[in-house]
């Protein structure tokens, strides 16, 4: 999915700071003057010193900082996008999002992602160059909150090496997103704590869970047209690391002081499920089951070429279900996730084949997902013709996009979308041979300060 490992999303900063600082304005009609830029940058050293004391992280070396225009930012993003690896990743993401129903086949994904990120970025700490960049078009009264956020990233980098910590996990966007949520969540939580301090409040005494602000954060995007017009799944993908990550650190701060947060990065959450439900990390650790779908038989490899292999995780499952089900039903369907892997293939005519194996905490959880996915498929595909429903365990249909099916066995559910009839049984047999590796991790404990 969309990856933004070096940036701060403006909509989250706009919303959170406007919540706590009512005078905040979201206008971006003009750029800061040189004098205003100088005044903002002059505060960096004192803020960095305060943050260093607050987090218990020593400042090893100075943090270089500068202002950047939107045009300069766009040029930088274009250079990143033109790298061969990034081009291939964007195209794989596009096809994956099409198959899951997040975007239409003709949606200009790469161009939209570029426009969206150019609009969204309020500032970013580039861990490749160790340079802090602020956007000169961000409203002047939001510059300090952004500066606090990005200086926190600079301190994180001196403590844990962000480049290594943020290295994408191979074939596991769920783990990558969890690590990103740690980085962005701590920086956003620190920003909030810093802003609240003068009023004698803190994140721990805020009185509500920042997750409750998810819908309000979406609504606050009225001044950001690309974000406002983005498909819902893309909106959530952009904001989830900030909101779920901040909620995770709010849970942490209810019981711990900031200096103890460094230990979390040495043994970070292993899934977005743990970020979405902090008790599954702190109180009773619920690590995911690793799933591995076998490779296609030689005969099928002649037809199907791999596009993407990845993990949806609970957040991904939630987004998939939300495309076709109500938010409440999607939540019920995705909770209790235990592990998954999907594989996406393409033939020479551009047809896409999706294979998904998922395992769930209980048989009840699996049944809820199975029943929800049956409804989802009926809404997703036109002209479905039911071929069989074996004891309500396997539902298989003919559709305009070849055959689709969902099947349950105990804790496990498989999904096949886009299979030619002649290859269906071979793919079904293949999926049920998927390997599962149970986690081996001691239960985490949340100590009182």
Q: In a 10 Å sphere around its CB, with 0-12 CB exposed, 13-18 middle and 19+ buried, how is residue 244 labelled? A: buried
**CA 123/CA 139 separation, integer angstroms:** 12
Given this model, what pLDDT does residue 448 score?
A: 39
**CA 13/CA 105 separation, integer angstroms:** 32
Domain positions in the chain are 8-276, 290-437
Q: What digits encode the pLDDT tens for the residues 57-83?
A: 988 888 999 999 999 999 988 887 777
**CA 79/CA 75 separation, integer angstroms:** 6
Given this model, what pLDDT does residue 84 score?
A: 63
**CA 119/CA 122 separation, integer angstroms:** 8
Q: Are 231 and 102 in contact (CB under 8 A)?
A: yes
Q: What digits encode the pLDDT tens for the residues 308-330?
A: 999 999 999 999 999 999 999 99
Percent of the chain's residues with pLDDT above 70: 88
Domain boundaries 290-437, corresponding CATH code: 3.40.1000.70
- pTM recorded for the entire structure: 0.91
Q: Are 40 and 134 in contact (CB under 8 A)?
A: yes
Given this model, what pLDDT does residue 338 score?
A: 98
Given this model, what pLDDT does residue 3 score?
A: 47
Phi, psi of 388, rounded to the nearest 5 degrees:
-165, 155
**CA 171/CA 181 separation, integer angstroms:** 18
Q: What digits encode the pLDDT tens for the residues 95-130?
A: 999 999 999 999 999 888 888 888 878 889 988 888
Q: Are 314 and 271 in contact (CB under 8 A)?
A: yes
Q: What digits encode the pLDDT tens for the residues 396-448?
A: 999 987 999 999 999 999 999 999 999 999 999 999 999 999 987 654 555 53
Q: Is a pLDDT exceeding 70 seen at residue 222? A: no
**CA 99/CA 105 separation, integer angstroms:** 9
- H-type alpha helices, 166-231: 173-196, 214-219, 225-228
């Amino acid at each position: 999915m969309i990856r933004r490992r070096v940036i701060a999303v403006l909509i989250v900063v706009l919303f959170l700071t406007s919540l706590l600082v009512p005078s905040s304005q979201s206008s971006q009609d003009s750029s800061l003057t040189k004098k205003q830029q100088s005044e903002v940058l002059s505060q960096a050293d004192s803020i960095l010193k305060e943050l260093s004391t607050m987090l218990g992280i020593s400042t090893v070396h100075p943090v270089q900082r500068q202002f950047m225009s939107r045009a300069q930012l766009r040029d930088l993003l274009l250079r990143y996008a033109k790298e061969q690896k990034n081009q291939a990743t964007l195209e794989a993401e596009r096809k994956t999002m099409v198959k899951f129903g997040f975007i239409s086949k003709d949606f200009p994904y790469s161009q939209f992602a570029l426009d969206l990120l150019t609009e969204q970025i309020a500032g970013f700490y580039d861990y490749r160059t160790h340079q802090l960049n602020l956007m000169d078009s961000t409203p002047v009264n939001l510059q300090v909150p952004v500066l606090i956020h990005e200086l926190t990233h600079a301190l994180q980098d001196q403590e844990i090496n962000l480049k290594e910590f943020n290295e994408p996990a191979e074939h596991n966007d769920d783990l990558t997103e969890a690590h990103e949520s740690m980085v962005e969540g701590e920086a956003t939580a620190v920003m909030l704590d810093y802003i609240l301090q003068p009023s004698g409040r803190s994140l721990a005494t805020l009185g509500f869970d920042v997750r409750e602000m998810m819908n309000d954060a979406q609504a606050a995007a009225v001044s950001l047209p690309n974000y406002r017009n983005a498909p819902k799944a893309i909106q959530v993908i952009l904001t989830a690391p900030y909101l779920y990550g901040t909620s995770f650190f709010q849970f942490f701060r209810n019981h711990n002081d900031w200096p103890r947060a460094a230990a979390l990065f040495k043994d970070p959450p292993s899934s977005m499920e743990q970020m979405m439900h902090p008790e599954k990390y702190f109180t009773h650790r619920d690590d995911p089951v690793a799933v591995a779908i076998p490779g296609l038989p030689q005969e099928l490899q002649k037809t199907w070429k791999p596009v993407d292999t990845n993990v949806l995780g609970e957040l991904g499952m939630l987004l998939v279900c939300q495309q076709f089900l109500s938010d409440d039903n999607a939540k019920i369907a995705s909770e209790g996730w235990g592990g998954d892997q999907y594989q996406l293939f393409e033939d020479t005519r551009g047809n896409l084949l999706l294979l998904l194996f998922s395992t769930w905490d209980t048989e009840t959880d699996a049944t809820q997902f199975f029943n929800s996915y049956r409804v989802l498929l009926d809404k997703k595909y036109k002209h479905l013709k039911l071929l069989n429903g074996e004891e309500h365990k396997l539902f298989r249909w003919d559709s305009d996009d070849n055959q689709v099916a969902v099947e349950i066995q105990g804790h496990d559910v498989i999904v096949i979308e886009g299979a030619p009839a002649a290859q269906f049984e071979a793919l079904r047999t293949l999926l049920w041979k998927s390997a599962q590796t149970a986690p081996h991790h001691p239960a985490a404990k949340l100590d009182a300060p």
